Structures are given as structure tokens and as C-alpha cells.
Amino acid sequence: EYLAAHGSKKFFQWFDHTVWYPLGRPVGTTIYPGMQFVAVWIWQALDYLGQPMSLNDVCVFIPAWFGVVATAFLGLLTYEASGSVDAGIAAALIMAVLPAHIMRSVAGGFDNECVAISALCCTFYFWCLSLRSPNSWPLGVVA
């Protein structure tokens, strides 16, 4: 909420006197800000698209949304590697019920693991696509 209200410059200069008493904490320089920026960007995009949602709700749903993205990319990766639609569907179904994946993509678990798993699956998928032929190398840049 601080990032959305005050912008990135103030966020990185933010010093919270109410935590780590009596010293305080330079919040902007002691956290990994990626998740906060992703949440604000998604929140702004939803507002721009006419689907306003509270920033808190966006933070709650991000793990579930990225869990779906990771599952889809794993299914696509399996299809790309095997050439079998059935294998892609089976891999996606297994990913959807895998306890380790569910633990990292449950709604409300606002942590960077859900985004990281999605990014890994996306990277591997586009890397495999880039190996198809000599002309498909631009997909390696996307990866």
C-alpha cells in the first residue's frame, strides 16, 4: 500500500520507526521489492481494464493466479517435449495436485515462490521452443 500511495522513490527511502524498536528499519532497502511491484502493477492493470480490485485482494490472489500460470506452462512444456497432448494434460493435472506446488500457490500466501515457479516453467518452455529449428532462436531471447 505504501508503494501504491507514495511511488517507488519514496518506497526505497521509506524508514519505519515503529519496527525493530528502538532502531527502526529502512524498509525499502531491507526487503526484496519484486513482489510489491508485481502486486501494484497487476492492481493498476486491473483498474485500467475496468476490473477494480483492492490491493489486498490482489496480494491474496497472486499466488493462485501464478499457480495457474505455472501449471499451464508445465503442460505446454510437457507437450513440447513429448509431442503428446495426453502427456501435457497429465503433467498439468499432476502439477495441479502436487502438494509442494499447492503449498506455494495457495491464495493468501504472498511470497515470491509462486512467481519464481511460474518464471522457471515459462523459461524452460520458451527455451525448448527455441530449439525447434535454426529459425526459432528469437524464442530463446524470450526465455
Run of H or E residues at 36: helix 34-48
Q: At what angle do helices 55-82 and 85-97 cross, to 10 degrees?
A: 140
Residue 27: what pLDDT? Answer: 85
Cα 118 from Cα 124, distance rounded (Å): 10
pLDDT tens by residue, the chain, 143 residues: 888 888 888 888 888 888 888 888 888 888 888 888 999 999 999 999 999 999 999 999 999 999 999 999 999 999 999 999 999 999 999 999 999 998 888 888 888 888 999 999 999 999 998 888 888 877 777 77
Run of H or E residues at 43: helix 34-48
Residue 95: what pLDDT? Answer: 94
Residue 56: what pLDDT? Answer: 93
Run of H or E residues at 56: helix 55-82
Run of H or E residues at 91: helix 85-97
Q: What is the pTM of this model?
A: 0.81
Comparing C-alpha atoms, which of 44, 76, 74 is closest to residue 58?
44
Residue 86: what pLDDT? Answer: 97
Residue-by-residue DSSP string for 98-130: -HHHHHHS-TT---THHHHHHHHHHHHHHHHHH
Residue 80: what pLDDT? Answer: 93
Residue 55: what pLDDT? Answer: 93
What residues pair up with 15 in beta bridges, in sequence order?
26
